[in-house]
Structure 1
Amino acid sequence: MSDTRTPSQTDPAPYDALLLLSFGGPEGPEDVVPFLENVTRGRGIPRERLTEVGKHYFLFGGVSPINAQNRELLGALRKDFADHGLDLQVYWGNRNWAPYLVDALREIADDGHRRVLVLATSAYAGYSGCRQYRENLADALAQLAAEGRPELTVDKLRHFYNHPGFVGPMTDATLAALAELPAEVRDGARLAFSTHSIPTAMAETSGAPDDPARGTPGGAYVAQHLDVARLIAAAVAERTGVADRPWQLVYQSRSGAPHIPWLEPDICDHLAAERADGAEAVVMVPIGFVSDHMEVKYDLDTEAVAKAAELGLPVARAATVGADPRFAAAVRDLVLERAAVQRGEPVTRCALGALGPSHDRCATACCPNPRAPRPAAAEA
């Protein structure tokens, strides 16, 4: 979209605040186990097990990169909004660590705002990446109501996985990673598009149609990732002149019980299979993640790189979008799009690929809670 807008196109009304909503992460060794207790609350996991799980964080001094990267994104959003005349205050809250979601919403209410847009740092449909955040919002809003604070109306921005401001930076990052490989293997390098593995049952119930009356078809989590992978692979082929470069969607960061089926193949298993198939090199492209947080730094940069070294397979890892100015501009575009929709004005929705722009409001039945139904904010 053009950066030249009429006054009405820089108007966020009826919204008066944007909340950056993320997962959160520890910022010191003493935070690790309490953070993991927040993540796993209600599952009865012993503290000793959490200490074992936390070894990934302890390898990095007990600090997850995610909070620092969210601060960078917060700054990028504020700068982009200011540079383009969008008068909308931006706040930040996390699901599992400070600054907590309920505190951010309390600050928003105390500052006099009443109509809030939410940007969740997850690009795709699915329980953990969408509905669980909306459940968290419902819980936080209920807590504020119990405190007697003014009512907030909260709407979540649509999934942005196929917005040009997400796909473009990921494409450039893939090309940059290819350039890091030795020249003699560059043209033969294959692409592994990586995302968070989830239980197959959860993947099968992810997503909903635009018309909630038609029911929930499911399968959106995988379908959306595949659409992005195709877009990036095609763009890389065009810009490198290497047609038919092999690629595959792979998964990482599995954390569930062994007897429960999760999406496969795992990235490390995939690297072994690629080497056995004669691959010269592999570029890992973390399309499932907005920033280089712990699951990228450990599962890809540590475990997968170590596996590749064991196999004698050259690898490189593409960067995530992070605070790329194009991504900040995409958020601005989504904010103005949603504001125009709420005002009843015509709007052009930016989306690449075969699936088109996603729905504004989630159907009640989409991406169901795998344990038990719970109230969720911003539903159709």
Structure 2
Amino acid sequence: MADKARIGVLVMSYGTPESMDQIEEYYTHIRHGRKPSPEQLQDLIHRYEAIVGGFFPLRKNTDRQVAALEDALNRGDGRYTFQCYQGLKHAKPFVADGVEEMAKDGLKEAIGLVLAPHYSTMSVGSYIKEARTKADELGISMQFVESYHLNPSLIQALTNRVMQEMAAFSSEGTGKDEVEVLFTAHSLPERILAMKDPYPVQLMETAKIVAEKSGITRWRFAWQSAGRTAEPWLGPDILDVLRKLRHEENTRNVLVCPVGFVSDHLEVLYDVDIECQALAAELGMNLKRTESLNIDPLYMEALRSSILSVLENHKAAAR
């Protein structure tokens, strides 16, 4: 029997510091080499302190996802041997580092995938560009999963989480028609609309199908975690939506489903669990959040099947 083909998988994500003393370096990299002001740095440190309390588990979330994906890939297909590598945008190992590790291990064929289901030229597109440039330089044939926002396993995982939290509301005596569901994702600069970027459309498609499968009729989309820059970002912002729901529509029960995020990190653990919860308490609202996907087997299956689909399509085209 011929040896199984060896396939590298570059798993890319935004990255996070590994400890409190790395926050300034991390933030400086995000700002293209410009150090944050003391006030900006202190604000970020405060946010991390609020969610990690001196212990820094965030990086381990990605480590666990990469390990779980490698396991799922090698359990589910007998034709290939998969080896996963990390490539981070703003922390080590950087995207180029991950590709270099593949080359050192003698891999010639690889698939790249970002831990973000929805494509934008400003996010996923930038990861792919960087990885492709390095792969071409090192002689690695690398294909990419560009998006997987309608993958059935992803949709099912999100639907399960919405229904679980709606059941929690029901156990408190709150009917489904009394709960407003807010699907959210990381905001991006508004100029992507003029670029006909698919990001907002893909997010709305995910939200719509999850709402339908969950039997939800009261829902809307909100944006969160916008950058603090002079240019306008996509809105409405979730905090403004919460105020409107309470003051103008007298809504008291809200479920936040961050469909644009796949793991527990700053934008979920602080922006939703602390900032939104604080505002909800101030407004007299009952706010719940769906659990993050993290290493949910259904999410791993969504990644696995997306990778295999790209791999098989590439091999079919090459025949």
With normalisation by structure 1, the TM-score equals 0.75
* Structure 1 gap ranges (5+): 1-6, 206-217, 238-242, 347-380
Cα deviations across residues 46-98 of structure 1 (Å, max 9, x unaligned)?
Answer: 44254134231232246665421111111211221232234211112211112
Of 150, 158, 170, 1:162 maps to 150
Higher relative contact order (CA 8 A, sep 6+): 1
Question: How much has 1:132 moved relative to structure 2?
Answer: 1.5
**Structure 2 residue identity aligned to 1:272:** R
Change in 2 beyond 3 A, CA 1:197/1:320: same
Cα root mean square deviation, aligned:
2.4
Q: Which amino acid aligns with 1:183?
A: E
Tell me if the contact between 2:119 and 2:147 (Cα under 8 Å) persists in the aligned partners. Answer: yes
Q: Does structure 1 conserve the Cα–Cα contact (< 8 Å) formed by 2:119 and 2:146? A: no
Q: Is the 8 A contact 1:24 1:66 kept in 2?
A: no
CA distance in 2, matches of 1:246, 1:100: 41
**What is the SS of the residue equivalent to 2:101?**
helix
Matched, 1:121 2:93: no
Partner of 1:224: 202
Q: Work out which of the residue numbers 239, 249, 252 in structure 2 matches 1:268.
A: 239
Whether contact under 8 Å (1:32, 1:62) holds in the other structure is no
Match of 1:96 among 90, 94, 99: 90
Unaligned runs of 5+ in 2: none
TM-score by length of 2: 0.89
Task: Identify the residue that residue 340 of structure 1 maps to in structure 2.
Answer: 312
- Structure number with the higher helix fraction is 2
Q: Does residue 17 in structure 1 map to residue 5 in structure 2? A: no
Q: CA deviation at 1:185?
A: 1.9
1:1-380 aligned within 5 A: 16-42=7-33, 44-54=34-44, 55-59=46-50, 60-61=52-53, 65-84=57-76, 85=78, 86-138=80-132, 140-141=134-135, 145=137, 150-181=138-169, 183-187=172-176, 188-205=178-195, 218-237=196-215, 245-257=217-229, 259-276=230-247, 277-344=249-316
Cα separation, 2, equivalents of 1:114 and 1:49: 46
Letter in 2 for 1:108: M
Residues 112-151 of structure 1, C-alpha deviation per residue, up to 9 Å, x if partnerless?
A: 1011101111111213321211233256458xx4xxxx42
Structure with greater strand share of residues: 2
Taking structure 1 as reference, are residues 117 and 31 closer, same or farther at Cα in structure 2, changes over 3 Å only? same
Inter-CA distance 171–290: structure 2 relative to 1 (3 Å threshold): same
252 and 65 in structure 1: CA distance in 2 versus 1, 3 angstrom threshold: farther
Cα deviation digits, residues 276-331 of structure 1 (max 9, x gap): 20213010000011111111101000100111010111010001222111121222
Distance 2:128 2:283 in 1: 42
Q: Aligned partner of 1:91: which letter?
A: Y
Supply the AA of the counterpart residue of 2:38.
E
Measure the CA separation in 2 of the matches of 1:94 and 1:12: 28
Cα distance, 1:102 vs. partner? 2.5
